[in-house]
Amino acid sequence: MLAGIGGFVDTGGVITATDAGASFHYSLAWTVVFGMIGFALFAEMSGRVAMSSTQPTWDVMRTRLGPKIGAIPLVISLVIHVLTLAVDLVGMGLALQLLLGVSYRVWVAAVALVLIVALWRFNFTAIDTGAALLGLLMLVAVAAMIKLSPDWGAMAKGLITPQVHEAPSNAKYLFGIAALLGAFMTPYQFDFYSSGVIEERWAERDLMRNRVVAITGTAFGAVVTLGLMAAGGKALYNRDVPVDTIRHAASPTAEAFGHTGLYLFIIGVLAVSLAASIELCLSGGYAMCQYYGWDWGKSAPARKAPAFNLIYVAMILVAAVIVLLPVNPISFTTVTMALGAAALPFTFIPLLLIANDRRVMGRQRNTRATNVLAIIVLSVLVCITVMTVPLLVITHGSF
């Protein structure tokens, strides 16, 4: 469940979910259900591949796809990792600006330095678990949804079927789908999860644990996301209030619980962004080191896996430079989430092929039902991949 807080809900998830509620009411609520199914399906698959092959996912991809073809999803994945890390640095900077003053750009530089030192010096479990526990404060969004009491019937309809008639335009509605799914199912989460399976030495006896963790963790994050969207829909829909700052994203919670709710929300955003940043940094190191056969892992001291640690240091520095460029942080967040959704097929298609490879998976290869669901999810994501660039041009990267 803690992984669901730091993965399914981070800066991108908070901004896009609240903005979707403000812009589309409950007409995009179904994306939370779709994202939950897709996330759980491919997370379980990535864990099962790691357990069955006893190899990290990227090691298996290089072996089965070859070094040239396998490098395509690797490069795309790392680019999205860095852009998403920049988004979470922005989230932490904006949260600290609201709490303590001073420009978010100053805080981004400070947070980047603290993140490098913390990851280099401290045990992964302590810092990630601490950040994820603080991230439980985001449950205040669920409490705000209940307190504000949205139209439960309309929300139930939105969860089951798309309500396109509530959208300002078809293009913005489609771009909203891309941004939300990119926020829910960013590629780093699957690298992080499968690598954790290897580091914790899960085996076939842990198949049920893998399934339970993938489903319950995702469901927990989805409930928080639905709270953000529903509270945004109730408090901000038809009020012409753009969600272009963390303060605006926090306004439904502030409306429900006053200053206490506001500060709980801001600290929650800071915490989930930190947890996501930790997972992003480690996922980038995992992916590259696994692909090229270098030593990797956070359980041992940094000197035992120097390339692994230098990779995430480089990622942090590049992400910080991106944030310090003269770009609108919220627009950058929305565009990055859409690009993340467009990149998902490049990770999911190889993973699906490997999960059906009898030589790798043996009796643990995908069932027919799993393949049917996976193909449905992939079909939607491939359509998003094709449409993302035209939609970015048409909508100017906003809802």
Of the candidates 371, 346, 374, the residue with the CA atom closest to the CA atom of residue 74: 346
pLDDT at position 376: 95
Residue 2 banded pLDDT, cuts 50, 70, 90: low
Taken in order 211, 286, 182, 246, is the CA torsion positive or negative? Answer: positive
pLDDT of 321-354, one tens digit each? Answer: 999 888 888 788 888 888 888 888 888 888 898 8
Residue 166 confidence (pLDDT) above 80: no
pLDDT at position 252 is 95
What are the backbone angles phi and psi of residue 283, rounded to the nearest 5°?
-65, -40
Q: Is residue 202 over pLDDT 90? A: no
- 1 in a domain, yes or no? no
Cα separation, 16 vs 247, whole angstroms: 14
Residue 4 included in any domain: no
Cβ neighbours of 49 (radius 10 Å): 27
Average pLDDT estimate for 27-50: 91
Residue 3 placed within a domain: no
Highest mean pLDDT among 112-121, 261-270, 293-302: 261-270
Residue 276's pLDDT band, with cuts at 50, 70 and 90, is confident
Residue 39 lies in a domain: yes
Domain extent, residue 246, equals 11-395
State the pTM of this model: 0.89
Residue 217 is predicted with a pLDDT of 81
- Report pLDDT digits (tens) over 48-67: 988 888 877 788 888 877 88
Contacts of 364 (CB under 8 A, 6+ apart): 48, 51, 52, 204, 207
Q: Residue 12: what pLDDT?
A: 86
Task: Give tens-digit pLDDT for 107-154.
Answer: 999 999 999 988 887 766 666 667 667 778 889 999 999 999 999 999
**Mean pLDDT (whole number) for 216-239:** 90
Q: What is the pLDDT of residue 325?
A: 87
- Mean pLDDT for 279-283 is 88
User: Any idea what the CATH number is for the domain that residue 245 is in?
Assistant: 1.20.1740.10
Residue 213 resides in a domain: yes
Number of domains in the chain: 1
- Residue 2 maps to a domain: no
Q: With contact defined as beta carbons under 8 Å apart, do 16 and 180 qualify?
A: yes
What pLDDT is stored for residue 164 in this prediction? 73
Q: What is the dihedral of CA 362, 363, 369, 372, to 10 degrees?
A: 10
Average pLDDT, the chain: 87
Q: Is residue 5 part of a domain?
A: no
- Region 5-18: mean pLDDT is 80
Predicted confidence band of residue 251 (pLDDT cuts 50, 70, 90): very high
Q: Decide: 234 and 150 in contact? Cβ < 8 Å.
A: yes
The answer to whether position 81 is within a domain reads: yes
